[in-house]
Amino acid sequence: MKNIVAFVFMAFCSISYSQGVLTLEEAIQIAKSSNPSISIIQMEEKIAKMQVYKANVGMVPRLDWNANIGSALNYVNQEFISGSTINRLGRSFAPNTNLSTNYMLYDGNSMKTRLDILDQQGQRASILTKNAEELLTNEVVNTFYQIARQKEGLKFLNSVTKYYNERLSITDQRWQLGRGSKLDYLQSQNDYNTQLTDIKNAQLQLQNLKVRLNLLLSREPNLDFDIVEPLATVENYDLTEAYKKAERESEELLLIEKDLDINALQVQVVQAQKKPQVNVFGTFGYSFSTSNAGFLLFNQSTGFNVGVAATWNIFDGGQVRNQTNIAKQRSQVLFKQRELVQQRIKSELSLAFNQWQVAKETLQLEETTKSLVEENLQISLEKFRLGSSTILEVNDAQERFDNASNRYINAMYNVKFAALELERLMR
């Protein structure tokens, strides 16, 4: 029984711990499924696609049922040329009902073109949704790696505390034995306390970054978690291929292409106004009326009628021509916007590519430097312990090691952030 209880407890602890660990893939999935801004854009996309149906542009017949009833009561006093007269209180009652239909046979393909516009607008909404998801993904990835960098920095601060503690212990012993100055001890104590303060500040920054990520994931702000950083992947980017991929995958360029397609269709809708429009109509109805004030006391009819109507605009004051020219001018604006976006993509890719190359080279240098200054610090501490060096040499070695380690951590994540920027521009 004890073994079973122990097994259940260990399993529960394991589950609880796993719930507090967040991978990058899980973070992206949670953000896409729960972030309110993405939900809003997805609903707007759904609304845009729901607009694409034939009845919305008049491509199906319309059938209406009409019914009305009327009644009147008035005093009638009439005298006719024949000599007859009507002088009495009159009443009338006239109900009628009918079914009517109307269907556009031809309108210069305006209805079909407007349906195509609605379809293009639905596709445009899909691009906007994809763009919003990728922007959110980039923000999640960026925040995730900032947490990883801050976590690594905090790990470094905790790891080098041993050097500050060792230095404090040496200066304390030397002071107590009368072999060193109390000033060395006080300075070491001050530096040790400063290190502990830096650790506290780093912990606060890490917690703030976690709050920010929780906000992107629509979770409780103070929900604590740990992250599992993805394994580093080495990519060999080719700038020419990156240009092609970026232009092919750019949502901004895709949106401009959709706007060009929609604008071209709108030109067709405008030009359709100069073509004839033909529609058929029909009515089937019943009417009835009765009155005691007149020659016709009773009237009843049932039947239907059909017809064809045609309209052809002869003169519109240049409306179609002017609207066509406006649409063509709008296309020119979109062409210029496309050129600007293409130039900006190339510029941003070139900058990101250069940053990535420099970051890789810098990382190699900082890795070598970190190993050298760490060895220098260990030698300085040993010499100080043996009394063959001063506190100034130890301070200098400690400062060099701290700076080099911070630069190494920054360089390591600068490579990752530069690669992320390249990936963002190529998506």
In a domain, 355, yes or no: yes
Q: What does the pLDDT look like over 389-420, one tens digit per residue? A: 788 888 888 888 888 888 888 888 888 888 88
- Identify which has the larger pLDDT, 79 or 281: 281
For residue 334, pLDDT beyond 60: yes
User: Residue 284: which H helix or E strand, with range?
Assistant: strand 277-291
Which has the closest alpha carbon to 374: 174, 155, 149, 162?
162
**Contact partners, residue 153, CB within 8 Å, separation at least 6:** 202, 406, 409
Which has the closest alpha carbon to 352: 413, 414, 422?
422
In a domain, 73, yes or no: no
In a domain, 304, yes or no: no
In a domain, 67, yes or no: no
In a domain, 158, yes or no: yes
Q: Can you give the CATH number for the domain in which 383 is found? A: 1.20.1600.10
Sign of CA dihedral 106, 107, 110, 115: negative
Instruction: Band the pLDDT of 16: cuts 50, 70, 90.
Output: very low
Number of folded domains in the chain?
Answer: 1
Q: What does the pLDDT look like over 120-154, one tens digit per residue? A: 999 999 999 999 998 999 899 999 999 998 998 89
Domain that holds residue 165: 24-60+107-276+312-426
Q: Quote the pLDDT of residue 295.
A: 67
In a domain, 41, yes or no: yes
In a domain, 286, yes or no: no
Say how far apart CA 371 and CA 369 lie, in whole Å.
Answer: 5
In a domain, 81, yes or no: no
Quote the pTM value.
Answer: 0.75
Strand ranges in 145-243 using DSSP code E only, listed in sequence order: 226-228
Instruction: Band the pLDDT of 234: cuts 50, 70, 90.
Output: low
